[in-house]
Chain A
Amino acid sequence: MFSTVKSILFVTMLSIVCSSLLTLAATGLKDYQLRNVAIDKKINILKSVRVVDDGYALTPVIIEKLYDENIRQAWINVDGKIITEQLKSEHDLPIYLYVKEHEILSYIIPVDSNGLWGRILGYLAIKSDGKTISGFTVYSHSETPGLGGEIETSWFQNNFLGKEILDEKGNFVAVTIAKGSVEKRIPKHRQKNFVDGISGATMTGRFLSDGLTQALIEYEVFSKRFRNQEITTLKDF
């Protein structure tokens, strides 16, 4: 009986000590952690429009500065109109605009795709012509390192540069990850809608293709307005 009481007392004491230590650590470090997450997001947005190459080599202060100089966050409604944070409703989609002297150079759409083992999160930047891809980044995934995990490498992401989401007749087709090399597998007139696949990662490619298509369909209304040159500067806000 006595030993049971002793055990319970001991465990209670230990739990209190451990949990207060962890609470201290978690609250003390929370600001740093949230800052890291925010910086990581900004690095990836900047990477998708190629303002930075490898953001992890830069200090957070420089990242903040570059982000504030180049990127504006906004939302778009069902008609593809850009709206500010105050006016947004819950159906509106977030969008990031790469702006130089009031001129919109690219718009960046968040990509939330399924993967083989988990979600793939990233950003796809499209030029203000509404069809040419100007960059793609992945900031979170759980694909197999060395195979599907290659989606986070620059050789794969650079494949997206200059690809288009319209076919040669001007119809929307999105962009697809080919199985293997585009040059060998895809007929010439469709090559600009495909990017090179990763060998050994066919499934990751298929999931990511679906995810990209899904994201592009959601933002198609907005892209159309760019193609019709209804939006060119940020004054159309």
Chain B
Amino acid sequence: MKITRTKAFRVFFTPIWESNPVSGQILGICSALAVTVQLKTAIVMSLALTFVLAFSNFSISLMRNYIPRNIRIIIELTVIATLVIFADQVLRAFLYNISKQLSIFVGLIITNCIILGRAETYALGNPPFLSLLDGLGNGLGYSQILITVAILRELFGAGKLLGYQVIPASLYAAGYENMGFMVLAPGAFIAIGLIVWLQKTVAKEENDGKPH
């Protein structure tokens, strides 16, 4: 069997592009707007979310046969909150400068709909290893959009990438100006909108001719 046909492969790769949580399912938009002004913060945020998502999926899946159904949301939230606070503490200890810039948005990962959504729809009904892969896949899917949007915003909004000047001074001398609009939240809306549009167009072409 080819590796691309295995279940694990599909679980991992489908959310990265085909059913991407942000551009496919329109989840987790709020943080995608807030932390994508700079590439650096977007990368750290992506790592934090992927970490939380992978381990919340994994641990909830481990407990899935014991979790009492009537209080499952509370339990899921407890697990997620623990992981988020842990991630926040680690950032404060080792990436202080970036954690200062991310401020409240790391804490807000708790309310990110992707995480609770994956716990509810996937981890509760699948074994730990697949759940871990699903978490990683969805986390990377989210990261991919976040990083793309951040590249667009930092490049056009500030002329920089990762804090380094990319657009040469000669271009500014020739009358080029940074797009102030890109550093504001609506800039992210438009960037995400364009990505959703691109993704839907490509997906449609791929599906043409196949029965739905």
A binding-site residues for B, Cβ under 8 Å = 3, 6-7, 10-11, 14-15, 18, 21-22, 25-26, 29, 32-33, 36-37, 39-40, 56, 140, 142, 145-147, 200
Q: Specify the chain B residue showing the minimal Cβ separation from A10.
A: B68
Asked if B200 is an interface residue, CB under 8 A from chain A, the answer is no
**Residues of chain A lying within 8 A (CB to CB) of residue B96:** 33, 36-37, 39-40
* B89 and A26 form a contact (CB under 8 A): yes
Asked if B191 is an interface residue, CB under 8 A from chain A, the answer is no
* A146 and B184 form a contact (CB under 8 A): yes
Q: Known contacts A11-B74, A15-B78, A200-B180; can you find 19 more A-B pairs with CB under 8 A?
A: A7-B71, A10-B71, A11-B71, A11-B75, A14-B78, A18-B78, A18-B79, A22-B85, A25-B90, A29-B90, A29-B93, A32-B92, A33-B92, A33-B93, A37-B96, A40-B97, A40-B100, A145-B183, A146-B180
CA distance A46 to B75 in the complex (A): 47
Q: Specify the chain A residue showing the minimal Cβ separation from B98.
A: A56
Asked if B164 is an interface residue, CB under 8 A from chain A, the answer is no
**Residues of chain B lying within 8 A (CB to CB) of residue A15:** 78
* B82 and A18 form a contact (CB under 8 A): yes
CA distance A14 to B78 in the complex (A): 8
* A36 and B75 form a contact (CB under 8 A): no
Asked if B37 is an interface residue, CB under 8 A from chain A, the answer is yes
CA distance A32 to B85 in the complex (A): 16
Asked if B172 is an interface residue, CB under 8 A from chain A, the answer is no
Asked if B157 is an interface residue, CB under 8 A from chain A, the answer is yes
CA distance A229 to B14 in the complex (A): 73
> Nearest chain A CB to B125's CB is how many angstroms away?
19
**Residues of chain A lying within 8 A (CB to CB) of residue B103:** 142
| Interface hits, B50-100 → A, CB 8 Å | 66-68, 70-71, 74-75, 78-79, 81-82, 85-86, 89-90, 92-94, 96-97, 100
CA distance A11 to B68 in the complex (A): 9
CA distance A21 to B180 in the complex (A): 44
